[in-house]
């Protein structure tokens, strides 16, 4: 599939564009930390009758990381599914490498979603984990399915042979995303998660700006990570292809020598 592609002489997987993207992501992330943890207000509300304080207090700051991570997790897995479908139609390594790299980045961000959600849940919901919550459980299922996807890819010696079964698994696993996204509406009585406040414009000013900025920075980080992982996956394909070609060449030389004798 890659033909006689020579391994490029690379010291690392970066380029001028990816370096700019990486620096922008890091600077943006630092600004996000300042906005989320220092400049925005804590969530403190007062009961209209008793005057008692309630809300998420400082825990709300974690949502500026948690919510953007959810967005990029969905996006990474959707890219993986599109690339998997692309591979099944076109059968090119470009699509497979894109599917593999976005699945790895998506799995990483999904793990962070579960971790940050759990840390946020402790002070706000008074629990690290809620078994009955449909959204938490369906997110966990998504994470486990993509762990299976990555395990499947690793199980094959040849990246080319892993491509098709992995594409099928990705297309099945991604069906969980609409379920997670709509779970709050469909099973309102079986979740602690609230309905979307973003789409109904219930938040505003610096809070809304920080959240949007967080989503933008997360997108930059995701793109940066996928770009580098894609280049590694591409090099892995070339390396494997070269290994096969070298083995065939060596075998031919042995056969020729044996015939000459």
Partner 1 sequence: MTDIWLIARKDLKIEMRSRVLMNQVAPFALIILVLFGIALDADQKSLRNFASGLFWISVLLCALMAIARSMTIERDEGALVGLNLSGVDPSGVFLGKACAIAIQLLVLEVFLGVGIILLYGSEVEDLWLLISTGLFACIAVSALGTIFGFLASGLGVRETLLPILLLPLLLPLLIGATRAFDDALGIAAVNGWNWFAFVAGLTVILTGVGVAANYLIVEN
Q: What character string, x for contact with partner 1 (CB under 8 A) and - otherwise, covers 123-152?
A: --------------xx--x--xx-xx--xx
Q: Least distance in Å: CB of 102 to partner 1? A: 19
State both tokens at 183: 């779970």
CB-nearer residue toward partner 1: 7 or 147? 147
CB-nearer residue toward partner 1: 63 or 177? 177
Q: Least distance in Å: CB of 93 to partner 1? A: 18
The Cα 243–Cα 159 span in angstroms is 12
Q: Least distance in Å: CB of 172 to partner 1? A: 6
Q: What character string, x for contact with partner 1 (CB under 8 A) and - otherwise, covers 3-42?
A: ----------------------------------------
CB-nearer residue toward partner 1: 33 or 141? 141
- How many chain residues interact with partner 1 (CB under 8 A)? 21
175 near partner 1, rule: CB under 8 A:
yes
Q: Least distance in Å: CB of 239 to partner 1? A: 21
Question: Would you call 57 helix, strand, or coil by DSSP?
Answer: strand
The Cα 245–Cα 145 span in angstroms is 34
Q: Least distance in Å: CB of 165 to partner 1? A: 4
Q: What are phi and psi of 50, to 5 degrees?
A: -85, -20
Q: Least distance in Å: CB of 138 to partner 1? A: 8
CB-nearer residue toward partner 1: 67 or 180? 180
**53 membership: H or E segment, kind and range:** strand 53-57
Q: What character string, x for contact with partner 1 (CB under 8 A) and - otherwise, covers 58-97?
A: ------------------------------x---------
CB-nearer residue toward partner 1: 20 or 155? 155
CB-nearer residue toward partner 1: 44 or 147? 147
Residues interacting with partner 1, by CB under 8 A?
A: 88, 137-138, 141, 144-145, 147-148, 151-152, 155-156, 164-165, 167-169, 171-173, 175
């Amino acid at each position: 599939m890659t033909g006689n592609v020579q391994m490029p002489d690379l010291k690392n997987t970066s380029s001028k564009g990816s370096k700019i993207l990486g620096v922008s992501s890091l600077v943006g992330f630092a600004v996000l930390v300042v906005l989320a943890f220092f400049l925005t207000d804590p969530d403190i509300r007062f009961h209209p009758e008793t005057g008692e304080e309630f809300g998420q207090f400082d825990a709300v700051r974690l949502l500026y990381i948690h919510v953007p991570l959810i967005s990029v997790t969905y996006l990474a897995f959707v890219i993986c599914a599109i690339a998997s479908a692309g591979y099944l139609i076109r059968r090119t390594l470009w699509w497979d490498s894109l599917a593999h790299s976005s699945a790895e980045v998506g799995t990483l961000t999904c793990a962070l979603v579960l971790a940050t959600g759990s840390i946020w849940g402790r002070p706000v919901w008074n629990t690290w984990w809620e078994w009955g919550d449909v959204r938490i459980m369906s997110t966990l299922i998504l994470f486990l399915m993509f762990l299976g996807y990555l395990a499947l890819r690793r199980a094959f010696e040849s990246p080319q042979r892993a491509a098709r079964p992995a594409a099928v698994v990705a297309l099945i696993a991604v069906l969980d995303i609409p379920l997670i996204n709509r779970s709050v509406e469909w099973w309102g009585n079986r979740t602690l998660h609230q309905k979307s406040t973003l789409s109904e414009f219930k938040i505003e000013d610096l809070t809304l700006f920080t959240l949007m900025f967080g989503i933008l920075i997360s997108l930059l980080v995701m793109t940066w990570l996928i770009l580098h992982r894609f280049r590694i996956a591409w090099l892995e394909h070339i390396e494997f292809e070269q290994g096969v070609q070298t083995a065939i060449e060596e075998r031919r030389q042995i056969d020729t020598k044996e015939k000459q004798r």
